[in-house]
């Protein structure tokens, strides 16, 4: 707890360009959470170097992501938005937690298996202990809740195991985090293969709408979106392509699927795709404008980055000092 609020932590990697899926499924829903929770959103750049990165590009992407957090509506006065690498406590706690994590547990992580298959020439120890760093992120802030996608639930589970193991030895040091299952946005699917989720690492650029796509590109991608053969706008299992477009249109306009079916009764896919494209353009436009303004205001952003890192560090150090004491490190002279 911080004050009378529960703590929420989440992070995103600055790899790849954010998609409409990331926005509708995560970012957009994060905006209102600060009323109920004390929120920390990190750009997890320590995690990013588990696969090889171009340094200039990583720096640029990390800044872009942090700027996008703000452009998407996260108020940096109410949410702590910071770079993981600016708070050294993440790495320090990760080391300690490494000594409370078993090889066998890490060996079972499916993301490690997937990523080592994908990067067979660089199976480094960081990739293996990635979940321990993630545990450190969460436990450092004594987070009660963590909004994550399904693919990260296994990492949240190991975080809980590590925390419980530590607490069993040293007393109640860590809050045991729960996955955040509140109001989550729709799962947005690929525009080209609607049985696969829209993902920023998809190699086919037509499959994903990126938050920085210009209106023409957005409209073109929706025109080319794979649809089904029924020819009518109906929300059903047999039409995964149309269902996805209805989900997107609904998320952008606030309309229900029944309202959307009614709106497009008797109309073909062409009209519907245009409307979906336009609704996405309407959502992205203000976000892109805000992004451009923020990017120009270097002094403002730098100030936010510094202020928020200091705030994160304050809470991180509280936990870290407690943990260091518990495991038996000598106290510092005051």
Per CB under 6 A, residues contacting ligand LTN are 9-11, 13, 44, 47, 134, 137-138, 146, 148, 152
How near is the Cβ of 298 to ligand LTN at its closest, in Å? 27
- Of 200, 255, 318, 326, which is the active-site residue? 200
Q: Specify the stretch interacting with ligand ATP by CB under 6 A; choose among 16-24, 231-239, 308-316, 319-327.
A: 16-24
How near is the Cβ of 12 to ligand ATP at its closest, in Å? 5
Is the Cα dihedral 120, 130, 78, 24 positive or negative? positive
Q: Residue 9: which of ligand ATP, ligand LTN, none does it interact with, CB under 5 to 8 A by kind? A: ligand LTN
- Contact call for residue 149 and ligand ATP (CB under 6 A): yes
Q: Where are the alpha helices (DSSP H) in the chain?
A: 20-22, 28-30, 45-48, 55-71, 89-98, 103-107, 110-118, 125-128, 130-140, 153-170, 215-223, 240-253, 257-263, 269-296, 298-327
Identified binder of ligand ATP from the candidate list 7, 21, 247, 316, rule CB under 6 A:
21
- Contact call for residue 19 and ligand ATP (CB under 6 A): yes
How near is the Cβ of 281 to ligand ATP at its closest, in Å? 19
Cα–Cα distance, 23 to 21 (Å, whole number): 5
Q: 134 or 309, CB closer to ligand LTN? A: 134
Identified binder of ligand ATP from the candidate list 47, 63, 160, 197, rule CB under 6 A:
197
Q: Is 306 annotated in the active site?
A: no
Q: Is 255 annotated in the active site?
A: no
* Nearest residue to 209 (alpha-carbon basis) of 15, 22, 14: 22
| Tokens found for residue 44 | 């997890």
- Contact call for residue 25 and ligand ATP (CB under 6 A): yes
* Nearest residue to 323 (alpha-carbon basis) of 7, 93, 90, 87: 93
Residue with the shortest CB distance to ligand ATP: 25
Q: Is 5 annotated in the active site?
A: no
Q: Residue 44: which of ligand ATP, ligand LTN, none does it interact with, CB under 5 to 8 A by kind? A: ligand LTN
**Count of other CB atoms within 10 angstroms of residue 152:** 18
| Tokens found for residue 107 | 């060996």
Q: Are 80 and 40 in contact (CB under 8 A)?
A: yes
Q: 148 or 304, CB closer to ligand ATP? A: 148
What is the DSSP pairing of strand 145-146 with strand 79-83? Answer: unpaired
Residue 21 burial by Cβ neighbours in a 10 Å radius (0-12, 13-18, 19+): buried
Cα–Cα distance, 98 to 11 (Å, whole number): 20
Q: 29 or 217, CB closer to ligand LTN? A: 29
156-195: contacts with ligand ATP (CB under 6 A): 185, 187-188
Q: 14 or 80, CB closer to ligand ATP? A: 14
- Of 28, 64, 115, 221, which is the active-site residue? 115
- Contact call for residue 256 and ligand ATP (CB under 6 A): no
Within a 13 Å sphere around the CA of 248, how many CA atoms are in the beta-carbon half?
36
Contact residues for ligand ATP, defined by CB under 6 A: 12-13, 15-16, 19, 21-22, 25-26, 148-149, 185, 187-188, 197-201
Q: Which residues are catalytic?
A: 115, 197, 200
């Amino acid at each position: 707890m911080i004050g009378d609020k529960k703590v929420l932590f989440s992070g995103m990697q600055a790899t790849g360009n954010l998609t409409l899926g990331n926005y509708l499924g995560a970012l957009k829903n994060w905006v209102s959470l600060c009323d109920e929770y004390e929120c920390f959103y990190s750009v997890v750049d320590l995690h990013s170097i588990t696969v090889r990165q171009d340094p200039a590009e990583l720096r640029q992407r990390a800044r872009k992501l942090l700027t996008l957090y703000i452009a998407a509506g996260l108020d940096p006065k109410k949410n702590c938005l910071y770079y993981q690498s600016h708070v050294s406590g993440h790495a320090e706690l990760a080391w300690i937690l490494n000594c409370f994590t078993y090889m066998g547990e890490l060996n079972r992580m499916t993301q490690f298996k997937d990523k080592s298959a994908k990067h067979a020439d660089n199976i480094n120890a960081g990739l293996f202990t990635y979940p321990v760093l993630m545990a450190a992120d969460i436990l450092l802030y004594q987070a009660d809740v963590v909004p994550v996608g399904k693919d990260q639930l296994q990492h949240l589970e190991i975080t809980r195991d590590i925390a419980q193991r530590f607490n069993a030895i040293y007393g109640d040091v860590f809050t045991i985090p729960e996955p955040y299952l509140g109001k989550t946005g729709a799962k947005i699917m690929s525009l080209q293969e609607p049985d696969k989720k829209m993902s920023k690492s998809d190699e086919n650029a037509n499959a994903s709408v990126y938050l920085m796509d210009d209106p023409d590109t957005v409209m073109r991608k929706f025109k080319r979106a794979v649809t089904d053969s029924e020819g009518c706008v109906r929300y059903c299992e047999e039409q995964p392509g149309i269902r996805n477009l209805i989900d997107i249109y609904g998320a952008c306009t606030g309309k229900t699927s029944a309202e959307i079916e009614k709106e497009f009764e008797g109309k073909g896919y062409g009209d519907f795709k245009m409307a979906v494209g336009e609704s996405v353009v309407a959502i992205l436009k203000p976000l892109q404008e805000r992004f451009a303004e923020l990017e120009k205001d270097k002094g403002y952003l730098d100030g936010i980055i510094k202020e928020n890192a200091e705030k994160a560090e304050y809470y991180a150090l509280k936990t870290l000092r407690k943990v260091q004491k518990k495991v038996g490190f000598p106290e510092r002279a005051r």
